[in-house]
Structure 1
Amino acid sequence: MLVDAMTVRIVQKPNSLDTILATNLNGDILSDLAAALAGSIRIAPPTNLDPTRQNLSMFKPFHGGAPDIAGKGVANPVGIIWSAAEMLRWLCSDAASRLTSGDREGLRKRVHDARSWGKCRYKTDGQGDSRPTKLRCKR
């Protein structure tokens, strides 16, 4: 499918897609679009995988640094937490859901970015409180 047709499908039938395989340029465009449809580019956990597992795979959040909100307790850590969960899914799937299970309530309420995150009861400091301190991978 061509990238222009894929943008239409992402918008019209996003639930029909699970994984999109694309070149770097097209993947950047499509992943930005998909993240925006989810509510914010800042919570998306894009992944660059080597399916052969012969080379490194990369797990990172979309968001960059945010020096303007540093120290204010309003940064939404979901992007980096979900990136870690994607890494766990790649390495050992059983631990990933325990890491992200508490995020669904905030996302259902569409609490995505610093503007809305800072005005709600979900604060950066408390995000670690509900997460497991140790995760074990079962292989």
Structure 2
Amino acid sequence: MDALQAFLTADLHIEKELPLRRLNTKLRIQAIDSNTLDKAREQATFYTGSGKARDREVDNEKFKAILITQMVTNVDFANAELMKKHHAINAVDCVRKALLPGEIERIVNEGLALSGFGDADETVDELKN
């Protein structure tokens, strides 16, 4: 198959199940597109300083939590019951309170791998810049 034909027949909707042992369940995660990635980065961006000394920074933990809200398809982290249980103010806060730090890393790494990235740890650092 030539390259053009490969692009014409490619399916960008890629999913997989990811076991979450602590909860004895499986999360269904999907690849994300560039637009979703850009929006997540922008949502996690904040500025410090002012004028010429103003710097753009990304809250890496918030970035990962936002990505999870977009990658996980079988859990709605904005669910009222789930947010109430974890005393969360929004879906991103709920991700950070409902999942352990290692689980967050694993989900993001798997989701980024599905999205075509190689070494997910390096990718997150590159994406936030």
Task: Please state which band the TM-score falls in when normalised by the shorter chain.
Answer: under 0.3
User: Which TM-score applies when normalising by structure 2?
Assistant: 0.24
More strand by share: 2
- Greater length-normalized contact order (CA 8 Å, ≥ 6 residues apart): 2
Bigger share in helix:
2
TM-score (norm 1): 0.23
